[in-house]
Amino acid sequence: MIYRTDYHIHSKFSDGKSEPVDYVAPAVAAGFKEIGFSEHLTLFRGSLDWSMNASQAKPYLAHIKALSMNVKDIKIRTGLEVDFFPGKEKEIHSFLRSINLDYAIGSVHYVGDLTVDNGRDFYKGKDIDKLFGLYFEHVTAAAASGLFDIIAHCDLIRIYGFKPSSDPEPFYRKLAKSFKNHDVAFEINTNGRNRPIGDFYPDRRFLRIFKEEDVPVCVNSDAHMPSRLGQYFDEAYELLKSVGYSEMAVFENRERYMIPF
Q: Taking the CB of residue 26, how many other CB atoms lie within 10 A of it?
A: 18
Closest to Zn ion by CB, 134 or 152: 152
Distance between first and last Cα of the chain = 7
Closest to Zn ion by CB, 18 or 243: 18
Closest to Zn ion by CB, 243 or 249: 249
Collect contacts of 173-178 with beta carbons under 8 A, ≥24 apart. 173/209, 174/136, 174/140, 175/136, 175/139, 175/140, 175/143, 176/209, 176/210, 176/212, 176/213, 176/215, 177/213, 178/140, 178/143, 178/144
Q: Is position 222 an interface residue for Zn ion (rule: CB under 5 A)?
A: yes
* Per-position x/- string for 159-198, each x denoting binding to Zn ion as judged by CB under 5 A, each - no binding: ----------------------------------------
In the complex, the smallest distance separating the C-beta of residue 36 from Zn ion, rounded to whole angstroms, is 12
In the complex, the smallest distance separating the C-beta of residue 118 from Zn ion, rounded to whole angstroms, is 11
Biggest CA–CA distance in the chain, Å, is: 52
What DSSP designation does 150 have? E
Closest to Zn ion by CB, 4 or 228: 228
Distance CA 13, CA 59 (A): 10
Q: Single out the residue of 5, 11, 14, 107 in contact with Zn ion (rule: CB under 5 A).
A: 107
In the complex, the smallest distance separating the C-beta of residue 244 from Zn ion, rounded to whole angstroms, is 27
Q: Taking the CB of residue 231, how many other CB atoms lie within 10 A of it?
A: 18
* Per-position x/- string for 65-104, each x denoting binding to Zn ion as judged by CB under 5 A, each - no binding: ----------------x-----------------------
Closest to Zn ion by CB, 152 or 184: 152
In the complex, the smallest distance separating the C-beta of residue 8 from Zn ion, rounded to whole angstroms, is 5
Closest to Zn ion by CB, 68 or 190: 190
Strand partners, 5: 34
Which residues bind to Zn ion, rule: CB under 5 A? 81, 107, 152, 222
